[in-house]
């Protein structure tokens, strides 16, 4: 059997995973990706039931295949799905992947032409295209028949959009738009004032798609960080993302950004649809996969969220951008030690990463190690990047030790004239810590009214355990669509 290149195999996996047989089954995707990756690396000897159980299904090292048949059951489903795929949408694919019965090592080969679909080989030769009477015929028009021209057009229409646009020249922004855009991207990554810079870039060149996407991302960051009232910020973000899609319908980043905005607005089905589009347009776009994990998380699909983040991590080639989100999911699953371990992988190289530090400190707090938690938080108090936000969170962590003075001061300051937006979600958390159930529920209700994106973690946040059985709490969960 002729062996295809690794690149051809990865392209084939992308086609398989985008098919109806596989796109809704992330576990089977993870299973197939794991065994194929080992086979391509020449490590077929490591493809065993035990290794699949550990790496794909997160089983413990004590996994016993005699009492747990999860790998064998999944392998049967995987074989059946592959057969369905190659009998349907993959009938004409050149790269063939098969998992023989009684084994987990995949067979990967190039199929001979006579093994491919009959339709692919029996396209009838059409009559020659008529010569234009008024225009001088080109050499291409003479050489190609009408039938072949139709096939070329069809292939362009049904091809992966990222392939259709592979040869398009990069867009050259007008004037100083790129300069503003570049500075805005740096500011966005470092929690700086990115919004006015992106706005300058867009004002200077409204057709600059990347700047429109950046503007949308800056507005969503403002909403996520509780700096602007969510609905106002998200409306402006949606307008910019929609502009980007109008300018370039095949931009994976534009669709992923719009998907994240839909996620923030609790439009789960629409968010899921946008991320499916984004990952089809750019299967190697790590940001799309990373953000899609949030939708799985919001729906309580923790395994799918973890799998999607791990896929993003493999595409990011060691940037660790998925680690804090993975750590956060472990935290909300209440796997606190796993959450700490995941967050520390990032803190080892980025000591002041806010989300990773928050996961460690919150997990230590839930484990009853509040004094250790406070020591872990002190570095952020000295960081110029987080200032007021770190100080506010410090009041929350101190409240866990019984010192509620700072937290009470914060809540009182939000009840009077305040220099910045006070998130009702954060106030609700404060009242939960202070043991004030009526005010906790009151501000949760206000969070619903303001459409606060942070409400997606309401079902999982340990701080709300005291009100979890309250009818008002259950009503809010219902309104979120869960």
d(CA 230, CA 224): 8
User: How is residue 16 written in tokens?
Assistant: 């398989």
Going by their DSSP bridges, the two strands 95-98 and 107-110 should be labelled as antiparallel
The CA radius of gyration of the chain, in Å to the nearest whole number, is 26
Alpha-carbon distance values, 367 to 331, 359, 371, 372, 426 (Å): 11, 12, 11, 10, 22
Share of the chain above pLDDT 70, in %: 84
Return the pLDDT at 318: 64
Return the pLDDT at 102: 84
Helix (H, G, I), strand (E, B) or coil at 179: helix
Return the pLDDT at 169: 53
Within 10 angstroms of residue 332's Cβ, the number of other Cβ atoms is 19
Q: Helices in 265-335 by DSSP H: which ranges?
A: 268-281, 286-298, 302-316, 323-332
d(CA 262, CA 293): 13
Q: Does a structural domain hold residue 373? A: no
Return the pLDDT at 375: 93
With contact defined as beta carbons under 8 Å apart, do 255 and 238 qualify? no
Please identify, among 89, 118, 147, the residue that sits at the C-terminal boundary of a domain. Answer: 118
Residue 414, domain extent: 404-482
Q: In terms of domains, do 89 and 177 share one?
A: no
Kindly tell me if the per-residue pLDDT of 116 is higher than 60. Answer: no
Kindly tell me if the per-residue pLDDT of 155 is higher than 80. Answer: no
User: How is residue 360 written in tokens?
Assistant: 């460690």
User: How is residue 181 written in tokens?
Assistant: 């855009």
Q: In terms of domains, do 198 and 278 share one?
A: yes
| Residue 226 pLDDT level (bands cut at 50, 70, 90) | low
Phi, psi of 145 (to 5 degrees): -80, 165
Kindly tell me if the per-residue pLDDT of 206 is higher than 80. Answer: yes
Kindly tell me if the per-residue pLDDT of 147 is higher than 70. Answer: no
CATH number of the domain residue 234 falls in: 1.25.40.10
| Number of structural domains in the chain | 3
Return the pLDDT at 157: 33
Return the pLDDT at 132: 37
Alpha-carbon distance values, 400 to 343, 361, 364 (Å): 21, 11, 11
Q: In terms of domains, do 113 and 178 share one?
A: no
Kindly tell me if the per-residue pLDDT of 336 is higher than 90. Answer: yes
Share of the chain above pLDDT 90, in %: 36
d(CA 473, CA 464): 9
d(CA 87, CA 107): 17
Q: In terms of domains, do 16 and 114 share one?
A: yes
Q: Does a structural domain hold residue 202? A: yes
Please identify, among 118, 143, 162, the residue that sits at the C-terminal boundary of a domain. Answer: 118
Closest CA relative to residue 291, chosen from 275, 304, 270: 275
With contact defined as beta carbons under 8 Å apart, do 278 and 290 qualify? no
With contact defined as beta carbons under 8 Å apart, do 248 and 254 qualify? yes
pLDDT digits (tens, 9 = 90+) for 56-113: 887 877 788 887 888 988 898 899 899 989 988 888 888 999 999 888 999 998 876 5
Kindly tell me if the per-residue pLDDT of 411 is higher than 90. Answer: no
Q: In terms of domains, do 99 and 193 share one?
A: no
Return the pLDDT at 143: 34
SS3 content of the chain, % helix, strand, coil (to 5): 65, 0, 35
Contacts of residues 391-394 at CB distance under 8 Å and 24 or more positions apart, as own/partner, are 392/426, 393/358
Side-chain-facing half-sphere of 397: CA atoms under 13 Å: 28
Q: Does a structural domain hold residue 18? A: yes
Q: Does a structural domain hold residue 328? A: no
Q: Does a structural domain hold residue 49? A: yes
With contact defined as beta carbons under 8 Å apart, do 183 and 212 qualify? no
Q: In terms of domains, do 277 and 182 share one?
A: yes
Please identify, among 266, 283, 300, the residue that sits at the C-terminal boundary of a domain. Answer: 283
Q: Does a structural domain hold residue 343? A: no
Q: Does a structural domain hold residue 336? A: no
330: CB partners within 8 A, 6+ apart: 336, 338, 339, 342, 359
pLDDT digits (tens, 9 = 90+) for 78-90: 998 999 899 888 8
Q: In terms of domains, do 196 and 111 share one?
A: no
Q: In terms of domains, do 105 and 197 share one?
A: no
pLDDT digits (tens, 9 = 90+) for 253-267: 999 999 999 998 888
Average pLDDT along the chain: 81
Q: In terms of domains, do 13 and 106 share one?
A: yes
Q: Does a structural domain hold residue 463? A: yes
Phi, psi of 243 (to 5 degrees): -60, -40
Closest CA relative to residue 44, chosen from 108, 138, 116, 125: 108
With contact defined as beta carbons under 8 Å apart, do 464 and 432 qualify? yes
Q: In terms of domains, do 101 and 178 share one?
A: no
Q: What is the average per-residue pLDDT within 438-465?
A: 89
Who has greater pLDDT, 7 or 327? 327
With contact defined as beta carbons under 8 Å apart, do 354 and 386 qualify? yes
């Amino acid at each position: 059997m002729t062996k295809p290149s690794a690149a051809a195999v990865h392209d084939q996996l992308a086609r398989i995973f985008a098919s109806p047989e596989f796109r809704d089954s992330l576990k089977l995707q993870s299973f197939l990706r794991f065994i194929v990756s080992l086979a391509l690396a020449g490590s077929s000897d490591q493809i065993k039931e035990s290794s699949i159980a550990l790496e794909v299904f997160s089983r413990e090292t004590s996994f016993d295949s005699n009492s747990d048949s999860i790998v064998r059951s999944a392998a049967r489903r995987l074989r059946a799905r592959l057969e369905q795929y190659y009998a349907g949408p993959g009938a004409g694919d050149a790269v063939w992947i098969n998992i023989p019965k009684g084994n987990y090592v995949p067979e990967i080969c190039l199929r001979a032409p006579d093994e491919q679909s009959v339709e692919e080989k029996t396209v009838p030769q059409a009559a020659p295209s008529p010569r234009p009477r008024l225009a001088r015929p080109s050499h291409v028009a003479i050489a190609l028949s009408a039938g072949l021209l139709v096939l070329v057009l069809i292939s362009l229409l049904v091809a992966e959009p990222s392939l259709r646009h592979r040869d398009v020249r990069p867009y050259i922004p007008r004037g100083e738009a790129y300069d503003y855009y570049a500075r805005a991207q740096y500011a966005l990554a470092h929690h700086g004032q990115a919004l006015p810079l992106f706005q300058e870039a867009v004002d200077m060149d409204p057709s600059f798609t990347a700047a429109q996407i950046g503007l949308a991302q800056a507005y969503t960051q403002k909403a996520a960080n509780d700096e602007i009232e969510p609905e106002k910020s998200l409306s402006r973000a949606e307008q910019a993302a929609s502009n980007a899609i109008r300018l370039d319908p095949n931009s994976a980043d534009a669709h992923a950004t719009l998907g994240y905005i839909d996620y923030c607005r609790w439009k789960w089905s629409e968010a899921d649809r946008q991320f499916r589009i984004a990952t089809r347009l750019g299967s190697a776009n790590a940001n799309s996969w990373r953000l899609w994990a949030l939708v799985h998380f919001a729906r309580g699909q923790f395994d799918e969220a973890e799998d999607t983040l791990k896929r993003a991590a493999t595409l990011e080639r060691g940037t660790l951008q998925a680690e804090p989100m993975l750590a956060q999911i472990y935290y909300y699953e209440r796997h606190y030690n796993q959450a700490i371990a995941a967050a520390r992988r990032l803190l080892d190289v980025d000591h002041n990463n806010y989300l990773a530090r928050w996961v460690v400190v919150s997990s230590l707090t839930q484990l009853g190690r509040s004094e250790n938690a406070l020591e872990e938080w002190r570095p952020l108090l000295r960081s110029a990047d987080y200032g007021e936000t770190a100080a506010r969170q410090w009041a929350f962590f101190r409240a866990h030790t019984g010192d509620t003075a700072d937290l009470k001061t914060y809540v009182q300051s939000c009840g009077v004239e305040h220099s910045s937006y006070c998130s009702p979600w954060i106030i609700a958390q404060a009242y939960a810590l202070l043991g004030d159930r009526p005010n906790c529920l009151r501000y949760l209700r206000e969070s619903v009214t303001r459409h606060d994106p942070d409400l997606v973690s309401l079902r999982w946040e340990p701080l709300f355990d005291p009100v979890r059985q309250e009818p008002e709490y259950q009503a809010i969960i219902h309104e979120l669509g869960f």
